[in-house]
Amino acid sequence: MSDSTRTAEGRRSWLREHSELGVSLLLLVIGVLVLTDALTMNVEIAQRGPVGPKTVPVVVGTGLLVVALLLALDVLRGGRGEAEGGEDIDLSEPSDWRTVLLLGGVFLAFAVLIGPLGFPIAGALLFWGSAFALGSRHHDRDPLIAAVLSVVTYFVFNNLLGVPLPGGPLMGVL
């Protein structure tokens, strides 16, 4: 075995043993994005009270950075996350890339379709597609449950919480 092969194997082994650094890096990136967005937010000076719209994003972004740093330090010191007692995951099994790709496609389709179709239709496709990707094969009831769940979610956010969601072509009907 050549030196370059041993070095590459050593790097892969180190990365495998410290894979939780990826989570730390993800938290760091999200924290930086949240803080950047919060600190560049335009806010009216005439806001009421000491707590403005920047406060929560700054606290959350700072918290994400602190957690990312603490997680990275723990992993580099040899700490490892332990599986919960109730988990029944066999780490020797290969990843189920079909499910991951199907879910990724469903989320991407939702992001593309929510504008032109609105939340009720795109949400129903998201809920049904997610159920299908995760293994449900009840082709008669899954679309109905997805449609009801999507419309109820639309009404709760739009009418009860006051968070407007795009209605799409069903805007006049709902």
d(CA 106, CA 111): 9
User: CB under 8 Å to 123, separation ≥6 — which residues?
Assistant: 110, 114, 146, 149, 150, 153, 154
pTM: 0.56
pLDDT for the residue numbered 5: 65
How large is the average pLDDT for residues 130-134?
94
**Which tokens sit at 170?**
């069903």
pLDDT tens digits for range 36-72: 998 888 876 656 666 777 888 999 999 999 999 999 9
In angstroms, how far is the first alpha carbon of the chain from the final one? 68
Of the listed ranges 66-70, 109-113, 117-121, 155-159, the least confidently predicted one is 155-159
pLDDT for the residue numbered 49: 65
Evaluate if residue 123 carries a pLDDT over 60.
yes
**Which tokens sit at 38?**
């919060």
Length of the chain measured in residues: 174
Residue 63 in contact with residue 55, Cβ under 8 Å? Answer: no
HSE, side-chain direction, 13 A CA sphere, residue 159: 9
- The confidence band for 8, taking pLDDT boundaries of 50, 70 and 90, is low
**Which tokens sit at 146?**
């997805």
Evaluate if residue 15 carries a pLDDT over 80.
no
Residue 75 in contact with residue 20, Cβ under 8 Å? Answer: yes
